[in-house]
Amino acid sequence: MFFKRRDTLSRVMIVQTKYEQEYIRFGLKVQYYRKLRGLTQEAFADKIGKSWSYLAKIESPTRAFGVSMETLFTIADALDVPVSRLFEE
């Protein structure tokens, strides 16, 4: 089952899904490659055209956070990795 709920304070999508661990793993992969490239959250968020708080939600190890396909490809391009690498176990 896949549910989305809009967080009324920040206007972002917090995802409740049976794939929660995959969303979290994706965020941790983003964090790993960002740090590998020596980028802070602030610098990387600026590079992908998002806010620091948005990136922090993606990288959160405690909750699933969905991103659009556009954002997914933008993140992969900015990290210089294939999109598939962000989903590897």
CA-angle at 54, arms to 49 and 59, nearest 5°: 110
Per-residue pLDDT at 9 exceeds 60: no
The SS3 assignment for 63 reads coil
Q: Each residue of 12-68: pLDDT tens digit?
A: 555 567 889 999 999 999 999 999 999 999 999 999 999 999 999 999 999 889 899
d(CA 14, CA 32): 21
Query: pTM of the entire structure?
Result: 0.81
Q: Count other Cβ atoms within 10 Å, centred on residue 38.
A: 7
The structural domains of the chain, ordered by start, are 17-82 (1.10.260.40)
